[in-house]
């Protein structure tokens, strides 16, 4: 099975925007997809993921921002954080990315909105959908 980038999977049939991630003085800005939503883990709520090409993902919740990894396992997106002790699994459901998460003790639901592409703002896909070129 050929490994596809998350950005190309999201771009193929899902409208999404790209944002420039903050850059340090030593590195150029990276393109990313930001998805915002929530989780029903008690004591938590607002949730966002910033997906980068490669396998990096930043999660922001009530504890702040932490960096993890993403991968595709069959038809499922798997996000891993905190040394793989916290895992979010989900799939695209219409204009949302949603699923279940676990920390090994508790399991909860999460859902984030896939942002819409706005050509007027100069936003483009990270990689073109199949059969398209930019």
Number of structural domains (the chain) is 1
Look at residue 10 and tell me if it is in a domain.
yes
Residue spans of beta strands (DSSP E) within 11-95: 19-20, 31-39, 46-52, 56-61, 64-73, 76-81, 86-93
pLDDT band at 5 (very low <50, low <70, confident <90, very high): very low
Look at residue 122 and tell me if it is in a domain.
no
Q: What is the structure's pLDDT at 131? A: 41
Look at residue 1 and tell me if it is in a domain.
no
Domain with residue 59: its CATH number is 2.40.128
pLDDT at 14 over 80: no
pLDDT tens digits along 17-73? 333 334 444 555 567 889 999 999 999 999 999 998 889 999 999 999 999 999 999
Q: What is the structure's pLDDT at 129? A: 39
Look at residue 33 and tell me if it is in a domain.
yes
Please list the alpha-helical segments (H only) found in the chain.
6-11
pLDDT at 16 over 50: no
Category of 8 on φ-ψ map: left (φ > 0), alpha (ψ -120 to 50) or beta:
alpha
Look at residue 102 and tell me if it is in a domain.
yes
pLDDT tens digits along 75-126? 899 999 999 999 999 999 888 999 999 999 999 999 999 887 655 555 543 3
Under 8 Å between Cβ of 122 and 17: no
Look at residue 126 and tell me if it is in a domain.
no
Q: What is the structure's pLDDT at 3? A: 41
Look at residue 130 and tell me if it is in a domain.
no
Find the domain containing 50 and state its range.
6-115
Under 8 Å between Cβ of 98 and 109: yes
């Amino acid at each position: 099975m050929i490994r596809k980038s998350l950005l190309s999977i999201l771009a193929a049939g899902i409208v999404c925007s790209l944002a420039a991630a903050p850059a340090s003085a030593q590195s150029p800005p990276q393109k990313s997809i930001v998805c915002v939503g929530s989780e029903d883990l008690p004591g938590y709520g607002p949730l966002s993921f910033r997906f980068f090409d490669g396998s990096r993902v930043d999660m922001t919740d009530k504890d702040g921002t932490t960096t993890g990894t993403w991968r595709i396992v069959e038809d499922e997106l798997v996000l891993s954080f905190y040394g793989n002790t916290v895992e979010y699994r989900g799939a695209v459901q219409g204009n949302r990315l949603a699923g279940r998460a676990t920390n090994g003790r508790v399991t909860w639901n999460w859902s984030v909105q896939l942002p819409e592409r706005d050509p007027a703002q100069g936003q483009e896909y990270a990689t073109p959908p199949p059969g398209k070129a930019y």
